[in-house]
Amino acid sequence: MPKKSLQTCFPILKVIPTFPSLKKEKVISALDEVKIIDPACGSGAFPMGMLQKIVLVLQKVDPDSQKWLSKLLDSVPDVTARETLRKKLEGESDLWNYTRKLGVIRKSIYGVDIQPIAVEISKLRFFLSLVVDEKVDDKKKNRAIEPLPNLEFKFVCANTLIGLPKDEAELFDDLRDIDALKNLRDKYFTASGHTKLKVENEFLSTQHKMLMRSMGWGKADTKAMKLSQWEPFKNKSTGWFDPEWMLV
Q: Where are the domains of the chain?
A: 1-157, 165-233
pLDDT in tens, 40-51: 999 999 999 999
Predicted structure pTM score: 0.81
Q: Between 227 and 246, whose confidence is greater?
A: 246
Residue bearing the bigger pLDDT, 244 or 56: 56
Question: How high is the pLDDT of residue 156?
Answer: 96
Q: What is the mean pLDDT of residues 62-77?
A: 76
Which whole number is the average pLDDT over 3-23?
56
Residue 42 one-letter amino acid: G
Q: What average pLDDT does the segment 67-95 reach? A: 67
Q: pLDDT tens digits, residue range 137-190?
A: 788 887 778 788 999 999 999 999 998 876 544 544 567 777 888 889 988 988
Question: Mean pLDDT, to the nearest integer, of 95-117?
Answer: 91
Measured between alpha carbons, how far is residue 105 from residues 98, 191, 237, 238 in Å?
Answer: 11, 15, 22, 22
pLDDT of residue 18: 61
Of 122, 59, 66, 124, the C-alpha closest to 91 is 66
Residue 59's contacts (CB-CB under 8 Å, 6 or more residues apart) are: 97, 100
